[in-house]
Homo-oligomer: A and B are copies of this chain.
Amino acid sequence: MKTFSYKKGIPGFRFSGIAGGLKKNGKKDIGLILADAPCAAAAAFTKNIVKAAPVIIGQKRLKSGMAQAVLVNSGNANACTGAQGIIDCETASAALAQELGIRQGLVVPSSTGVIGVPLPVGKLVAGVPALVKHAASGALSEFSDAIMTTDTFPKIVALQDSIDEHTIKVCGVAKGAGMIMPDMATMLSYIVTNASIERKLLASLVREKVELTFNRISVDGDMSTNDTVLVLASCKSKPLISSAKSASYKTFSNLIYEVMKRLARLIVQDGEGATKLLLINVRNAKTAAQAKQAAMTVANSPLVKTAFFGQDYNWGRIMAALGRSGAQFDMTEVDIFFNGLQSVHNGQGVTKNIGRLKKIMEKNCIEIAMDLKAGTKSCEVTTCDLSYDYVKINADYTT
């Protein structure tokens, strides 16, 4: 596995991004991913039951396992917009399908931005011709610009590997979990590949790897109405991957996992106001569900997150968060390690390490490993600290 320059593109895919007037600051706000032919496609959407119109429509369309184009707008979430929101989303998809001469059902729509404001669908429709005209294989960064809201840097990961002497390329782009400004809370991620894979196998792969990557990050515990992860496989490269037991599947699934994992981590690094990356690692929990629950509770604890922001060496808050997580364990058996150095032994502080542990609190990336000694299940969640800037970013907006 190695990186490659996404600027060279992936055969069979073109990208585009234009300014259509949805963002008030005049920046790019409509993006397009276009495949030469229908692709195998699979997606994971937000589990929030308050879903944006494009999520409702995208879920229906992707039941076919096929897609050829992705139409994304920023500046408006098209969420809580009722029946009109659905109509507006259909209208925009139809305009793109007509311009491309493809079936409307092959267009996957996405939106990100303010909730509860009608989508300015006229601007979207008006932008379609220019969007298609500018589509180019090397224009992924234009697409990336168009989907970004409060992200402070673009998030693109391109990795390749060989299967039977064929080069398999996987390239992903994401916009951040910056839970920001009025409501731009959405995580969007699109991954394209030249690999050939059966549709059902792609669907199960995406489900499995999203759970291990995008579902194991947390900035503030909130979940958007629009979250989407979509994978498009052009199937231009041999061999056809048709069994989860094959060596080719293993290579491909590793590529997908690694691209998703790196994108997920970039999202956390760009979390609102984040100053530190925290790797929350729960080991030896009784069940997998308890491992995840314990890790998520520590990751989302405001007391834990503010302590790390303040570089306050404070393992008691971690113990308290574990204790209220719902995970079952004996508090007199818990061990905790900061970057491998023991902080807690059998539920009590390790006094002799305090000096070195305080030094570790100054690092930009800290792994907190918690051994519950209650079973064999583990879970790692990636999160960030909670800073003044998080509150500032989320409070200072005035409508």
Contact = CB atoms under 8 A, between A and B. Distances in A.
Interface of A: 47-51, 77, 79-82, 114-117, 179, 182-183, 185, 220-225, 300-303, 306-307, 309-317, 319-324, 328-329, 331-332, 344, 346-349, 358, 386-388, 390-392, 394-399
Nearest to A114: B316
A8 to B, nearest CB: 38
Contacts of A396: 310
Contacts of A349: 80, 116-117
Contacts of A50: 319-320, 322-324, 331, 347
A312 B348 contact: no
A351 to B, nearest CB: 10
Given A50-B320, A323-B49, A348-B80, A391 B306 contact: yes
A312 B222 contact: no
Given A79-B320, A185-B320, A309-B391, 19 more contacts: A48-B324, A50-B323, A50-B331, A79-B319, A80-B331, A82-B346, A114-B316, A116-B319, A182-B314, A225-B316, A225-B320, A306-B390, A306-B391, A307-B394, A310-B394, A312-B398, A313-B399, A386-B391, A387-B391
Given A313-B399, A319-B225, A349-B116, A49 B331 contact: yes
Identical subunits present: 2
Nearest to A397: B312
B312 A395 contact: yes
A328 B49 CA distance: 8
B388 A392 contact: yes
Nearest to A395: B310
25 contacts: A48-B320, A48-B323, A49-B323, A50-B319, A50-B331, A77-B316, A79-B320, A80-B348, A80-B349, A82-B346, A114-B316, A115-B316, A117-B349, A182-B312, A183-B317, A220-B303, A222-B302, A223-B320, A302-B394, A303-B394, A306-B391, A311-B398, A312-B397, A312-B398, A386-B395
B316 A116 contact: yes
Contact of A398 (B80, B310, B324, B331): B310
Contacts of A328: 49
Contacts of A302: 179, 220-222, 302, 386, 390, 394
A222 B303 contact: yes
Nearest to A345: B82
B321 A222 contact: yes
Nearest to A300: B221
A114 B315 CA distance: 11
Contact of A80 (B51, B319, B324, B391): B319
A90 B39 CA distance: 70
A236 to B, nearest CB: 38
A242 to B, nearest CB: 36
B316 A79 contact: yes
